[in-house]
Chain A
Amino acid sequence: TQLLEQSPQFLSIQEGENLTVYCNSSSVFSSLQWYRQEPGEGPVLLVTVVTGGEVKKLKRLTFQFGDARKDSSLHITAAQPGDTGLYLCAGRLAYSGGSNYKLTFGKGTLLTVNP
Chain B
Amino acid sequence: DQQVKQNSPSLSVQEGRISILNCDYTNSMFDYFLWYKKYPAEGPTFLISISSIKDKNEDGRFTVFLNKSAKHLSLHIVPSQPGDSAVYFCAASAKSRSGSEKLVFGKGMKLTVNP
The finding on whether chains A and B are genuine partners in a shared complex, rather than unrelated, reads no
